[in-house]
Amino acid sequence: MTGLPWSVIARYRVVDDPNFGRVPQVVDSACRLALRHASDAERKRAALVAEDRSAADTGLADAKVDMQQHRLTWFLNVVRNGVVVDEQMRSLLDEVTGIWSDPRVQRLLLQETSAGWPDLAEEERESHGQTV
């Protein structure tokens, strides 16, 4: 996919969203973020390792990643946008955001977005030099 090592991609497993706090990422979204924020050296190394993908495959893959990531926060966005129309929705947004931040819900979201993420420990990944 990107050619970046898991240790770099893992930095984007969960990202902070200004509206919702911690948002777990599906693996492809984390890969895209890692590549976007990679150093020049990381990009050069990744280019040597990465598989060749056609433009059509990339377009479809990007759309799929966007859809997967969007569905995680869709309801939160609906409620947040509702506050713009009706300020009385703010208390509901606060409640929903509180639920979202609950550690049990965060664990559930991590499970929901876990497909494609390796089960190996960080040290093991780095010692094997695995890349994605």
3-state secondary structure of 14: strand
> Tokens for 65?
């990643």
Q: pLDDT, tens digit, for every residue of 90-126? A: 999 999 999 999 999 999 999 999 988 987 444 344 4
Q: Is the pLDDT of residue 128 over 60?
A: no
Alpha-carbon distances, residue 52 vs 38, 116, 118, 123 (angstroms): 19, 19, 22, 28
pLDDT band of residue 26 (cuts 50, 70, 90) is: very high
Alpha-carbon distances, residue 25 vs 9, 15, 79 (angstroms): 10, 7, 21
Query: Rounded to an integer, what distance in angstroms lies between the CA atom of residue 121 and that of residue 125?
Result: 6
Q: pLDDT, tens digit, for every residue of 41-51? A: 888 888 887 65
Tell me what the mean pLDDT of segment 23-33 comes to.
93
3-state secondary structure of 71: helix
